[in-house]
Amino acid sequence: MARYTRAELESYRGAELPDLVRPGVRLVFVGINPGLRTAATQIHFGNPGNRFRPALVAAGLLDPPADGRAGMTEADLETLLTRHVGITNLVPFATARADELTADQLRGGRVRLERFVGVHRPRVVAVLGITAYRSAFGCRGAAPGRQPEGLDGADLWVVPNPSGLNAHESTASLAAAYAEPARAAGIALSERPDMLGS
C-alpha cells in the first residue's frame, strides 16, 4: 500500500475522481466528495480507515478481502460494476474533510447528481450521509431511509456515511443500511452472518 506524506496528500486537494459507472447500473452510492488519499489512489473509498468496504462485505455486496488489506481496491470496484453498482460523489473534487465544502457546493452537488441520474438511469440512488443530503437537497427535516420523493425516476435513499467520524454507526449497522437500497435495486446479496457482528 502506497504511503504518502502530508505534503504529498495536500497536493491532491482539488483533484477529481471519475465516477464509477457502467451501462445497466442499478444502484449508485453517492459519497459527499473524495478525500485526499482517495484522490491520490484514484480508488473510491480507497482510504484504509474508511468503513465502506467492510460494510459492503458485511452487507454481501463484496467478498471478504483475500489479502486482508483494508481499503477498497481496483478489484473491488470491478466487482461492484459487475454487480450493477456504481459510485459517484455530490462534489467531484477532493478535500481533506467533507466539512470544508460550502453549502453552495453541496447544493451544486444536487444538480450534478440529477444530471448523473438522467444520463445513467439507475433504479436506486443512495446518498451516504444525512447532513450532506439535507444541505444538498434543502430538506432540513429529512430522516434516513427511503425518501418520499425520488430523483428523476430513481428511488432515493439516505444511508449513513461510512466515515470513522460517524462514530455512532458500526460496521454492522452500516451493512444493514446499505443492504436495504441494494435489495430495492434488485441486487442479490451474499449471506455474511459471520461478518455482521463486527
SS (H, E, C) the chain: CCCCCHHHHHCCCCCECCCECCCCCCEEEEECCCCHHHHHHCCCCCCCCCCHHHHHHHHCCCCCCCCCCCCCCHHHHHHHHHCCEEEEECCCECCCCHHHCCHHHHHHHHHHHHHHHHHHCCCEEEEECHHHHHHHHCCCCCCCEECCCCECCEEEEEECCCCCCCCCCCHHHHHHHHHHHHHHCCCCCCCCCCCCCC
Q: Which three cell numbers stand for residue 187?
A: 441486487
Is the residue at 189 inside a domain?
A: no
pLDDT at position 179, please? 98
Domain extent for 45: 6-184
Q: What is the CATH number of the domain that holds 122?
A: 3.40.470.10
- The total domain count for the chain is 1
Is the residue at 29 inside a domain?
A: yes
Is the residue at 70 inside a domain?
A: yes
CA–CA separation, 32 vs 87, rounded Å?
A: 11
Determine whether 101 is exposed, middle or buried from the number of CB atoms within 10 Å of its CB (0-12, 13-18, 19+): buried
User: pTM of this prediction?
Assistant: 0.93
pLDDT per 10-residue tile (average), the chain, 198 residues: 85 96 98 94 90 95 82 93 98 94 96 98 97 95 95 97 82 96 96 50
Is the residue at 10 inside a domain?
A: yes
Is the residue at 116 inside a domain?
A: yes
Is the residue at 151 inside a domain?
A: yes
Q: Which three cell numbers stand for residue 198?
A: 463486527
Q: How many whole angstroms from its chain centre is CA 126?
A: 8
